C-alpha cells in the first residue's frame, strides 16, 4: 500500500492549458506552485481549444487546467456546473479572483465617431466591420447569443483567428473584435470595451478544473490559488507576456515568487523539439513503410484489390490534415499518438502507389523470364521484382517522408509538440523570432531528409538500375 501511494505520488501532476496566453500563464502558475510545494508537475501547454482540453481532462490525459465558469455552464456540462462536473469525475475550485468575460472592443476612433458606448449602440451600426474569433462565432454563449439578445445582423461579422484580428485592428482593416476583458491589447491598441447593457454574456470567473482523483496534497496547493489573482494582476501578467514578450514561465515565476524561472535556453529547446518531431516522423513513416509496401505488392498482384487499396489510400489523402488530426482525438486522445496515427495514414498513399507502379513497370518479358527459371512466386518477388522496383518504392518513401516532416508541424495543435509548437506560440504572440525557431529547423530537416534519401538510393538501389 505504501509503495503504491509512493508510486502515485511520484507520477507528476499533469497541468494543461488552452491555446491562449492567459491559459498558458495560469497553467505555469499552477505547475510552479505545485513544484514549490514539492509535488512534481509537468505542463502540457497549448493543447488546443476548450473542447480538446476539457476532453483531455475528462479522459485523464491531464489532471488540472484553468477554465471559466461561463464556459463550463454554457459549453461543457448540462445542468448545474457542480453536478455536471461531478458526473464526469471532475471538481471545480473556488474562483481564482478575476473575471475574464467576453467583450466587444471597438477602435477608439470609430467608437468616438459613431458614439458607441454599449453593445446596443453597436447593433444600430451594421457598417462597423466586426472580425470575430472562430470559437466565438460558434459558441452558443458567443455570437449566436449576441445576435439573439441585441439583434445583430448575420452578415456583418467575419470569422478569423483571434491573434490575426488584433493585427487587422492595428492596421485599420477591422473596426471591432471579440476579446477577453483581461486582454493586454485593450490598452495597447487603445480599444474601447463596449458595455454589455443587456447582460448577454454570462459570468466568466476563472476557476481550476481538476480530476476527482487528484492527490489531496495537490488539491491543497490549488486551494491556495483561490482568490489570489486579481483582474489587474492578470492584465499585468498578460501584458508582460504579450507586450513585453517575456516567456510565460518567467511571468508566472514572478507571480509565485520564483522569478528565476527562465525556461530552457534555445539550444535545449530546439533539441527537445527536434527529438519530438523526429519521433513523430520516424514512428509514423516506419509503420507506413511496413504496411504500404505489402499493400502495394498486393495491389500489383490482384487488380480488383488494387483498385480498392489505391482508392482507399487516395481517399485518406483528400481529408484535410487538420480535420484528420481532429478526427483522431476521440479515438486516441491528445498528444503524440493521434498525431502519429494521422501521419501514418497520410504516408500510405505515396508508398502504396510507388510500389504498385514499380512492380507493374517491370517489362513483361522479364517477369516471364523469372517465371520460366522455375522460381516460386515469393522468390521471384524477393530476388527479381522488388529489387527492380526498388527505385520507384524509394521515391515513394521519400515523398512520404517529406510530407511527414511538414505535416508533423500540425501535431502541435493536439499537443504532440515538435517544430509546430514554436510556430503556434509565435503566431499567438505575433513574434516572428519564435515562429522562425520552428520554421527554420523544419525546413532544415526537410533538406536533411532529401540528402539522406540520395544516400539511401546509393545503398539500396542496385547499381545496374542507376
Rg (CA), the chain: 27
Does 171 bind other proteins (CB under 8 A)? Our answer is: no
Going 330 to 336 to 339 to 344, the CA torsion angle's sign is negative
Does 462 bind other proteins (CB under 8 A)? Our answer is: yes
CA distance 183 to 333: 30
Output 8 or 373, the one with its CB closest to other proteins: 373
Binder among 115, 257, 267, 376 for other proteins (CB under 8 A):
376
Q: In what order do the strands lie in the sheet with 41-44?
A: 41-44, 13-16, 64-68, 206-211, 90-92
Binder among 214, 228, 258, 375 for other proteins (CB under 8 A):
375
CA distance 93 to 302: 61
Does 5 bind other proteins (CB under 8 A)? Our answer is: no
Least distance CB 381 / other proteins (angstroms): 12
Output 199 or 466, the one with its CB closest to other proteins: 466
Binder among 82, 217, 323, 369 for other proteins (CB under 8 A):
369
Binder among 308, 322, 373, 447 for other proteins (CB under 8 A):
373
Does 460 bind other proteins (CB under 8 A)? Our answer is: no
Least distance CB 390 / other proteins (angstroms): 8
C-alpha cell at 396: 515513394
C-alpha cell at 275: 527529438
Question: How far out from the chain centre does Cα 79 lie?
Answer: 29
Strand 206-211 vs strand 64-68: parallel, antiparallel, or unpaired?
antiparallel
Output 264 or 368, the one with its CB closest to other proteins: 368
Does 199 bind other proteins (CB under 8 A)? Our answer is: no
Binder among 379, 444, 447, 448 for other proteins (CB under 8 A):
379
User: What length is written for the chain?
Assistant: 466
Region from 345-353, 371-379, 439-447, 450-458 binding other proteins, contact rule CB under 8 A: 371-379
Rounded to 5°, the CA angle 104-110-111 comes to: 55
Least distance CB 395 / other proteins (angstroms): 16
Does 366 bind other proteins (CB under 8 A)? Our answer is: yes
Closest-CA residue to 52 (of 360, 260, 465, 329): 329
Region from 141-149, 191-199, 267-275, 385-393 binding other proteins, contact rule CB under 8 A: 385-393
Element (H, E) at 241: helix 231-242
Does 365 bind other proteins (CB under 8 A)? Our answer is: yes
Does 458 bind other proteins (CB under 8 A)? Our answer is: no
CA distance 26 to 82: 22
Binder among 6, 374, 454, 455 for other proteins (CB under 8 A):
374
Binder among 387, 431, 435, 443 for other proteins (CB under 8 A):
387
Element (H, E) at 158: strand 157-160
Least distance CB 350 / other proteins (angstroms): 22
Least distance CB 376 / other proteins (angstroms): 6
CA distance 457 to 448: 14
**Residues contacting other proteins: total by CB under 8 A:** 21
CA distance 345 to 234: 42
Least distance CB 412 / other proteins (angstroms): 42
Region from 180-188, 300-308, 346-354, 386-394 binding other proteins, contact rule CB under 8 A: 386-394
Binder among 66, 295, 388, 412 for other proteins (CB under 8 A):
388
Strand 41-44 vs strand 130-133: parallel, antiparallel, or unpaired?
unpaired
Element (H, E) at 368: helix 364-373
Output 370 or 410, the one with its CB closest to other proteins: 370
C-alpha cell at 97: 479572483
Output 38 or 464, the one with its CB closest to other proteins: 464
Output 3 or 363, the one with its CB closest to other proteins: 363
Least distance CB 59 / other proteins (angstroms): 51
Closest-CA residue to 64 (of 221, 263, 233): 221
CB 116 within 8 A of CB 194: yes
CA distance 166 to 173: 10
Binder among 82, 87, 243, 465 for other proteins (CB under 8 A):
465
C-alpha cell at 38: 514539492
CB neighbours of residue 133 within 10 Å: 22
Least distance CB 372 / other proteins (angstroms): 4
Contact footprint for other proteins (CB under 8 A)? 365-366, 368-376, 379, 383-384, 387-388, 390, 462-465
Amino acid at each position: 500500500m505504501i509503495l503504491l501511494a509512493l508510486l502515485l505520488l511520484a507520477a507528476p501532476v499533469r497541468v494543461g492549458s488552452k491555446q491562449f496566453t492567459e491559459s498558458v500563464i495560469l497553467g505555469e502558475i499552477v505547475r510552479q506552485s505545485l513544484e514549490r510545494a514539492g509535488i512534481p508537475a509537468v505542463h502540457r501547454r497549448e493543447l488546443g481549444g476548450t473542447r480538446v482540453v476539457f476532453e483531455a481532462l475528462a479522459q485523464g490525459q491531464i489532471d488540472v487546467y484553468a477554465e471559466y465558469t461561463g464556459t463550463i455552464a454554457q459549453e461543457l456540462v448540462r445542468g448545474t456546473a457542480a453536478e455536471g462536473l461531478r458526473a464526469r469525475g471532475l471538481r471545480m475550485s473556488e474562483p481564482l479572483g478575476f473575471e475574464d468575460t467576453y467583450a466587444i472592443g471597438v477602435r477608439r476612433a470609430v467608437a468616438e465617431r459613431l458614439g458607441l458606448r454599449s453593445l446596443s449602440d453597436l447593433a444600430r451600426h451594421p457598417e462597423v466591420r466586426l472580425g470575430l474569433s472562430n470559437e466565438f462565432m460558434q459558441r452558443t454563449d458567443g455570437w449566436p447569443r449576441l445576435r439573439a439578445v441585441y439583434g445583430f445582423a448575420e452578415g456583418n461579422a467575419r470569422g478569423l483567428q483571434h491573434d490575426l484580428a488584433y493585427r487587422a485592428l492595428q492596421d485599420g482593416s477591422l473596426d471591432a473584435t471579440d476579446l477577453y476583458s483581461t486582454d493586454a491589447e485593450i490598452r495597447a491598441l487603445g480599444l474601447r470595451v463596449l458595455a454589455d447593457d443587456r447582460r448577454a454574456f454570462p459570468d466568466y470567473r476563472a476557476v481550476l478544473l481538476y480530476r476527482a482523483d487528484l492527490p489531496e496534497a495537490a488539491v491543497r496547493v490549488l486551494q491556495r490559488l483561490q482568490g489570489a489573482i486579481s483582474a489587474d494582476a492578470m492584465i499585468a501578467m498578460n501584458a508582460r507576456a504579450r507586450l513585453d514578450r517575456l516567456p510565460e514561465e518567467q511571468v508566472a515565476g514572478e507571480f509565485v515568487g520564483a522569478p528565476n524561472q527562465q525556461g530552457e535556453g534555445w539550444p535545449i529547446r530546439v533539441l527537445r523539439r527536434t527529438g519530438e518531431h523526429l519521433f513523430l516522423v520516424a514512428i509514423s513513416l516506419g509503420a507506413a513503410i511496413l504496411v504500404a509496401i505489402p499493400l502495394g505488392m498486393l495491389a500489383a498482384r490482384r487488380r480488383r484489390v488494387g483498385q480498392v487499396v489505391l482508392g482507399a489510400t487516395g481517399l485518406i489523402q483528400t481529408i484535410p490534415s487538420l480535420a484528420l488530426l481532429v478526427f483522431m482525438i476521440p479515438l486516441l486522445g491528445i498528444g503524440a499518438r493521434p498525431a502519429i496515427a494521422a501521419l501514418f495514414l497520410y504516408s500510405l498513399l505515396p508508398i502504396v502507389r510507388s510500389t504498385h507502379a514499380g512492380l507493374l513497370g517491370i517489362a513483361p518479358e522479364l517477369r516471364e523470364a523469372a517465371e520460366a527459371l522455375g522460381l516460386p512466386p515469393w522468390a521471384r518477388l524477393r530476388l527479381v521484382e522488388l529489387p527492380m522496383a526498388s527505385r520507384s518504392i524509394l521515391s515513394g518513401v521519400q515523398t512520404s517522408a517529406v510530407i511527414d516532416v511538414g505535416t508533423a508541424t500540425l501535431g502541435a495543435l493536439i499537443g504532440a509538440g515538435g517544430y509546430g509548437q514554436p510556430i503556434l506560440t509565435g503566431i499567438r504572440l505575433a513574434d516572428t523570432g519564435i515562429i522562425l525557431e520552428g520554421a527554420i529547423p523544419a525546413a532544415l530537416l526537410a533538406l536533411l531528409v532529401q540528402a539522406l534519401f540520395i544516400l539511401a538510393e546509393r545503398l539500396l538501389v542496385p547499381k545496374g538500375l542507376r
